[in-house]
Amino acid sequence: MRNMIKKSPWISIFNASSCNGCDLEVLALLTPKYDIERFGCVWKSSPRNADILIVTGPTNGQTKNRLKKIYSQMAPAKKVIALGTCGITGCVFRDYYNTRQKVDEVVPVDIYVPGCPPRPEAIINAVVKLLKKL
């Protein structure tokens, strides 16, 4: 099973209350200009089937519990990427009434990708580094 994950990891995205800037940059990876599939990555709509979970934004009261539940339902060889400054530090949402925690305080994070929003090249670099860890 480990070789299958190395060859074609399944990736899913979870928006934990971000402004959607990071989500747009992630969706740019599907375009022919960036084409993340050349590295063997396959996008899955359900995080339960994914090997890599990309989390954007800080968690709030509702998304914190959902993120924990989704993380617990993923396959054992799971990896998490915290995407964007909001997911890493809370950034502009840090002092809002509904912001609870950063992503790494809810689930273990393997790679951080800073930026507001991070460039698609930085996201590709993080995925390639994560593939080497697998």
Q: Where in the chain are the domains?
A: 2-133
Cβ contacts of residue 20 below 8 Å, gap of 6+?
none
- Supply the pTM of this predicted model: 0.88
Token output for 121: 């090249």
CATH number of 2-133: 3.40.50.12280
Helices marked H in the chain: 2-7, 21-28, 61-73, 84-89, 120-133
Token output for 34: 């960036």
**134 residues of the chain, pLDDT tens digit each:** 444 455 688 999 999 888 888 889 998 998 999 988 888 888 888 888 888 999 998 888 889 999 999 999 998 889 999 998 888 887 777 777 777 788 898 999 999 999 988 999 999 999 989 888 76
Pairing mode, if any, of strands 42-43 and 10-15? parallel
Of 24, 55, 29, nearest to 43 by C-alpha is 29
